[in-house]
Structure 1
Amino acid sequence: MFRSIYIDGYRCLENFSISFADVNSVLILGQNGSGKSNFFDALHLLHCIAHGETLLKNLIAKADFPYGDTHKVMTFEIECDINGGFYRYLLEVEQPEHFYQPRVRKESLSREGLDLFSREGGRTTLRQNAEFILDWHHVGLPLIHVRDEEDPIAQFRRWLGRAVVISACPQNIDLVSDGEDDALARNAANLLNWIRKLLSDTPSLYTHVERFLKQVMPDLVVFRFQTLGKDEKELSLDFRSENGTTTRHDFSQLSDGEKVLFLAAGISAALQLDRPIVCFWDEPDNFIACHELSQLIMACRRAAENHAGQLVISSHNPRVVAEFSNHNTYVFFRSSHGHPTRVTRLSEMNYDLPTLVDAFERGELFR
């Protein structure tokens, strides 16, 4: 799980630090423009690196530097616990004058304080002895060769690559699965591919997904993937009416909210894996009916907290706010568009209104 995240020089995130030590579920609050989505974008950038994207110009644009000032160094640093080991990963990016694309200034990965690899520009040192050169326009983490998948570098890459960073758009979800995907896209477009892979690797999770869906769709009988072609499969769902007849729907016939609930069922199941995931979900309450929202949040929180997973969400919904407590709620602030984002844990704040929901709805938390 993530212990802490430090970001500097990325959009409105300057000298930004947030600690998730000892919390498995986290709520992020903030007004529009406070930097919440930029925070999720930064995590998605790191997730893309873990999945093999190395060329910095494909990850970082000029507009990603604060106010377009490419003279500033951009820094990403994460600390995390993986399989009982403490890891720290650092990436510094710069774009000096007369350079047309960003380059790596520094990069390092350590475990328990011992360097696994480190870089200064293009010169790379592996485990404090072997030295070689990497193109400084490419991130090194995906390029380091390891002997086997139990190597600590491979374990870190795999853990970070399994993280889910999403801002779901149900209208963009593919209606038919054309394969199996390890990673869930930022907009959840490949949801069916991801669910197929999840259930193929761990068939026992089918029961959990089905149980979750039946709680929000009581007339559901069963869901299944049906083969259409060589690799294509269609998700079908059988529903039973009051007179006992069964009606079959495919995924395209579900509402936007029902598609998000299907996504939530998959996330909740993935959080219960033997190697649980970390999920960053930007506004999961979109498209969800109020009476179903509490169930969605609590199911995902319970899965994370009971199985050593981690769930970090943002929301503008008072019902979601009421599901969290002071110790795991963080508030993002930004006094103006010319100032960077600041973050405070709710337990360190005071408000005059009688309840947290009142203070949230009336904007007292953000003054």
Structure 2
Amino acid sequence: MFKRLYIHNFRCLQNLEVPIGDKPSVLLIGKNGTGKSTISHALALLADLARGTNRVGQLVKPGDFAHGRTDELMRFEVDVELSGRIHQYRLTLELPPGFKELRVQSEELLVAGQPIFTREHAQVTLHKASRAAAFLVDWHLIALPIIQEQSESDPLFLFKRWLAHSVIVAPIPSLITEESSGEALWPERDARNLGAWFAGLISHSPRVYTTIDGYLKALWADFWDIQNPLLGAETRSLKVQFRDGQRSLSLPFGALSDGEKCFFLCALVLAANEAYGPIFCFWDEPDSHLAIDEVGHFVMALRRSFESGGQVLMTSHNPETIRRFSDENTLLLSRRNHLEPTRIRSLEEIGVEGDLIEALLRGDVEA
């Protein structure tokens, strides 16, 4: 579970600490351009690190510095609680004059306050029980994906596995079709590989089909089955079957509506939280393709699923979603103009009087 997320000098975010704390579900609200989606991009960057992307230039570009301030360091810091111990990861990037690609200035991972590895520029030091071992790494490569774990109980392995299984999505339903190739351990940001992710989840943990099936049957009274047959050596075609009495209908997944695809994606998120252990999920505007009367069920199903383990962070502009979060669990992002940094505070701290939605419509609430 995320305890702390700090981002500095990345796009519109400067010296920003997201106060997630130990809350299982948190809602981010705020006007367009305040940095809600930028937070998801920072989280996706960290997840890509754990999945093996190690070259800085594949993760961030010089244009990602806030207002072009390349003379300042770019920082990413996370505190995560796993197995009762706090894992702290710090990554600092720089762009020296004349360079076209960012490089690592410093990097470290601490567990329960004890260093697992530290890094200054090119030198990485592994802190083992018996002795410290140092080696050199290209300044343009990040050490976290490179360092080998000793076992599955290694804190480094636990941290990387948890981070790699993070689900960061801002789905574009029109890109999600029935055809897929191979299997995937996690969805792409736009969820276009949903079929491959479904295949990967079922292959990794067949029992989670029950979770997917149960969620969809509670949602759609005529839902019957999901099929994902092979069409060739690698290609599959996802089909959804419906039944009402003696009548039945089989639809290719691409024929479902945008909202129906998002409900299916929600079922996979719930299944992933069960299959991979408690996971972290960031869903950018999960309600954007739903009818008004569908929003409440959708949001509360997500929140309930993560109450017993894991953590979900959402963004929304929808009043129906906002009403389903307490002031304590709602964070407001705001900035006065494009030249000012984003600020963030909980609604509980701001202390909104009267109807929150009306206050937001009037523009009376600022962080």
Fold equivalence (TM over 0.5): yes
Distance 1:16 1:281 in 2: 20
Distance 2:219 2:359 in 1: 30
**Secondary structure of 1:204 counterpart:** helix
User: What pairs with 1:103-252 in structure 2 (closer than 5 Å)?
Assistant: 103-127=103-127, 129-241=132-244, 244-252=246-254
Distance 2:7 2:155 in 1: 24
Give 1:187 deviation, angstroms: 0.7
The residue number in structure 2 matching 1:343 is 344
User: What pairs with 1:1-367 in structure 2 (closer than 5 Å)?
Assistant: 1-127=1-127, 129-241=132-244, 244-273=246-275, 275-306=277-308, 308-352=309-353, 354-366=354-366
1:276-313 C-alpha deviation (Å, 9 max, x unpaired): 2100011001111111111111111001012x110000
Gaps of 5+ in 2: none
Distance 2:153 2:199 in 1: 26
**Secondary structure of 1:32 counterpart:** coil
For structure 1, which segment, 269-278 or 219-228, has the greater mean C-alpha deviation from structure 2 after superposition? 269-278
Report the residue type matching 1:221 in the other structure. Answer: W
Give 1:174 deviation, angstroms: 4.0
CA contact (8 A) 1:272 1:309 kept: no
1:63-85 C-alpha deviation (Å, 9 max, x unpaired): 10011221110000000011222
Give 1:216 deviation, angstroms: 2.7
Give 1:358 deviation, angstroms: 2.3
Report the residue type matching 1:363 in the other structure. Answer: G
Give 1:235 deviation, angstroms: 1.5
CA contact (8 A) 2:212 2:268 kept: yes
User: TM-score under structure 2 normalisation?
Assistant: 0.96
CA contact (8 A) 2:80 2:86 kept: yes
1:127-161 C-alpha deviation (Å, 9 max, x unpaired): 16101101110111000122223211111111100
Moved over 6 A (4+): none
Report the residue type matching 2:207 in the other structure. Answer: S
Distance 1:190 1:343 in 2: 33
User: TM-score under structure 1 normalisation?
Assistant: 0.96
Give 1:325 deviation, angstroms: 0.3
**Secondary structure of 2:232 counterpart:** coil
Distance 2:210 2:227 in 1: 12
**Secondary structure of 1:141 counterpart:** coil
CA contact (8 A) 1:45 1:59 kept: yes
CA contact (8 A) 2:177 2:253 kept: no
CA RMSD of aligned residues (A): 1.4
Identity of aligned residues (%): 37
For structure 1, which segment, 320-329 or 269-278, has the greater mean C-alpha deviation from structure 2 after superposition? 269-278
**Secondary structure of 1:271 counterpart:** helix
Distance 2:261 2:33 in 1: 27
Report the residue type matching 2:43 in the other structure. Answer: L
Distance 2:60 2:102 in 1: 7
Distance 2:359 2:213 in 1: 37
Give 1:269 deviation, angstroms: 2.2
Give 1:203 deviation, angstroms: 1.8
**Secondary structure of 2:110 counterpart:** strand
Paired residue total: 364
1:79-113 C-alpha deviation (Å, 9 max, x unpaired): 00112221000000000111121110000001001
**Secondary structure of 1:186 counterpart:** coil
Report the residue type matching 1:316 in the other structure. Answer: H
CA contact (8 A) 2:11 2:38 kept: yes
Give 1:239 deviation, angstroms: 1.2
1:306-328 C-alpha deviation (Å, 9 max, x unpaired): 2x110000000000001100111
